[in-house]
Amino acid sequence: MTESVAQSLKLSPSRARWLVGITYPALIAGFALDLAFDPQQSPFDLVVSALKLAGLIGCLVIFLTTFSFTANAPEHQIDERERIERNTAYFLAYQVVIAAVFLLFLTSIAVRLFTAWTPSVMVLEELLTLIGIGGLALPAAILAWRSTADEEER
């Protein structure tokens, strides 16, 4: 790798998995609670904001790790094994993001058919923000999650 890896945040695979395991549930829970309760009258407003902020900061940290630099490295900077792992991570991230968007639109159609509530533009914007921010760090999160113990020196 090049010097850009030296400037990245070096986490062991176990710490990176721990970070991924905290970040994505916090991000999803924050946005889910935000949708479940009226933001103007919610007693959980501070908790929702803390969860969303923890998820966003966690995604930023994941994005700054060596796993993200591996995920975004040019072809000539990584070996064949890393290239295969990277391509697999991007393919899985693509599947997750597309499935999330598809589920979002199916759910919004079902909600409109079976209830009187129609998701507002702000609600859809919040959900697309969740998918977008989560999707940006997802290839690095997948690489971190799937890394093995023999890579502990990262």
Among candidate residues 139, 25, 43, the one with its CA nearest the CA of residue 88: 139
User: CB of 123 within 8 A of CB of 65?
Assistant: no
Say how far apart CA 78 and CA 84 lie, in whole Å.
Answer: 10
Please report, for residues 56, 85, 87, 103, 134, the alpha-carbon distance to residue 71 in angstroms, rounded to integers and kept in the order given.
Answer: 19, 9, 8, 26, 15
Q: Kindly list the domain boundaries of the chain, sorted by start residue.
A: 10-148
pLDDT of residue 103: 93
Six token digits for residue 154: 């990262």
| pLDDT tens sequence across 100-141 | 999 988 988 888 888 887 878 888 888 888 999 999 999 999
For the chain, helix, strand, coil in percent to 5 are 80, 0, 20
Angle at which helices 13-36 and 45-63 pack, to 10 degrees? 150
Secondary structure of 61-111 as H, E, C letters? HHHCEHHHHHHCCCHHHCCHHHHHHHHHHHHHHHHHHHHHHHHHHHHHHHH
pLDDT of residue 5: 46
Phi and psi torsions of 120, nearest 5°? -80, 170
pLDDT of residue 149: 57
pTM comes to 0.81
Among candidate residues 90, 75, 64, the one with its CA nearest the CA of residue 56: 64
pLDDT of residue 151: 54
